[in-house]
Amino acid sequence: MITLPEIKKSFFVSLWFMFLTFPIMVVRVNPIEKAVEWRWKNLLLVGVGSFLLSFVWRYLFKRKEAGKKKEEAGYDSGAKSFFHIILAEPKIYKPFLIGIAFFALAFPFIFSIYQTNIMTTALIYVMLGLGLNIVVGLAGLLDLGYVAFYAVGAYSYALLNYHFGLSFWLALPIGAALGAFFGILLGFPVLRLRGDYLAIVTLGFGEIIRIILENWNEFSFGPSGIANIPRPGFLGIEFSLQGATTFMYFLMIVLTLFTVFVVNRLQNSRIGRAWIALREDEIACQAMGIDKTKTKLTAFALGATWAGMVGVVFAAKTTFINPASFTVWESIIILCIVVLGGMGSVIGVVFGALILILLPEYLRAFSEYRMLIFGAVLIIMMVFRPGGVISSVRRTYRFEGLTGKRDKTGI
């Protein structure tokens, strides 16, 4: 329940915002007519809007504090476990998955080429998010240079096709292997680094790759990039533009399902548990006998493998690449997908990618305010749901006592 003192605080917040925005929102000088226009309506809108936002913000904070108290008292928060309840009930999620499967198969035949291209791009970011989820979400290694491996995969296909005529299907595993190689190459110098230092070094690595591609004209054709990269074929069939777009869409669905399967199996494997232990406490992880060097290098290599593979797909989809496509902003977007969806959560990363890539495309009517909305959504999510849209469930083990009969040895 919101009390009177909190309403007063929201009221004073609105007055403070009205005072700060007064010169910008109210006063307008017309130099041509040499007149001053007073827009008092804007001041009223700022006051009412800031009061309502402050009021809602305080209300949500009280809900959050009440939820924490319930958890401490032994009650489970409904907001926290809503998605997990759905995912744990086969009668609910199986029909839902069947419906999504039919919709995905029919999508390119129902919607336009433009919509199919947008969905293909979203699936590309799903794969990138799942790859970075290995490094950041599971192993806890903050990598801000992930776009470098993406660029390595894209340029590997473009250059191999340009110089040697290699097809997409041959370049796909080569791009993945080169991504893994560069992941190991980055992993060795940063084995002893953690936190901010690791983030700065990986950021520098990503910028080094981009600057090399931009300035080494003899190798990468510099800022001009590489054009006329062939799209993937299938059994020698020549596709039209619409057929190639549809084929790329179904190819991305197959690769995304393959990525989800592999990442989920890795998460539940021995190396996955080692990554999670490394993320939680590096010293305790090493004390338990886990090889820290091998674990970190494996995380970097496997995460970079998916980035290299997706880079090949990106080059084939766009048929043109240049260094401007692989800026640090791409790494930040992919990291936001992992954080917003839920670090360590496979389904959360899928939802995060679809939200962050599809919503800006379908909200072009608010193009001037898209980045403002994007920043506000991230702030709200980090304050009220720091675990992400669908947070990863920590496995717990409970000792229930000895059950069953003892054997002859008394055990």
Higher pLDDT, 386 or 295: 295
Distances (CA, A) of 348 to 118, 126, 208, 261, 343: 20, 10, 31, 14, 8
Q: Domains of the chain: which residue ranges? A: 4-75, 111-384
Mean pLDDT of 67-78: 55
Q: Are strands 35-38 and 27-30 parallel, antiparallel or unpaired?
A: antiparallel
Report the alpha-carbon angle 134-137-92, nearest 5: 95
pTM metric for this prediction: 0.80
At the top level of CATH, which class does the domain 111-384 belong to?
A: mainly alpha
Q: Are 327 and 214 in contact (CB under 8 A)?
A: no
Q: Give the angle subtended at the CA of 20 by the CAs of 17 and 22, to the nearest 5°.
A: 100
* 139 touches 290 (CB < 8 A): no
Range with top average pLDDT, 249-253, 289-293, 348-352: 249-253
pLDDT in tens, 29-72: 778 777 777 888 888 888 888 888 887 777 777 777 766 666 55
Residue 221 CA neighbour count, 13 Å, CB half: 13
Taking 50 as the threshold, does the pLDDT of residue 92 lie above it?
Answer: yes
Q: What is the mean pLDDT of residues 10-37?
A: 80
Over 60: is that where the pLDDT of 386 sits?
yes
Q: At what angle do helices 241-267 and 113-132 cross, to 10 degrees?
A: 20
